[in-house]
Amino acid sequence: MKEEIKGLAGFLVAGLGAAAALLAWAPLARVNVEGGFEGKHRDLSVLYVDLPLVAVGGALVPLAFWMLTLRRFHRPWLAALAAVTAVALGIWGLTSWWAPYQAPEFGY
């Protein structure tokens, strides 16, 4: 495999990782963007704090695994497998750990 194609594949892995992370994150953040009951709990900080962090993390984690595996083992298929595994574990961690703050609906 040529070096240019390996680099292009790495950027493709990064783009797909960022897209997958954002698609997994968006349903969790919907509550904060819409605001819940009558829009009273709207918190748009998820758009300017969490959105960039999720996109960058989704791009850099698989890219790092791609580069490290490719540098160590010189096998593109193994690097692709490591990157896909990193994306899957990262998305699993994101959806099981991250939960947006939700204020109580009714304060008594």
Q: What is residue 25's predicted lDDT score, i.e. its pLDDT?
A: 92
For residue 25, what is the DSSP state?
H
Burial of 70 (0-12, 13-18, 19+ CB in 10 A): buried
The HSE-up count of residue 98 (CA atoms within 13 Å, CB side) is 19
What pTM was estimated for this model as a whole? 0.83
Q: Provide the residue-wise pLDDT of the chain in tens; the chain has 108 residues.
A: 688 888 899 899 999 999 999 999 999 888 888 876 666 778 888 899 989 999 999 999 999 999 999 999 999 999 999 999 999 999 999 888 887 766 666 655
pLDDT score recorded for residue 1: 67
pLDDT for residue 104:
66
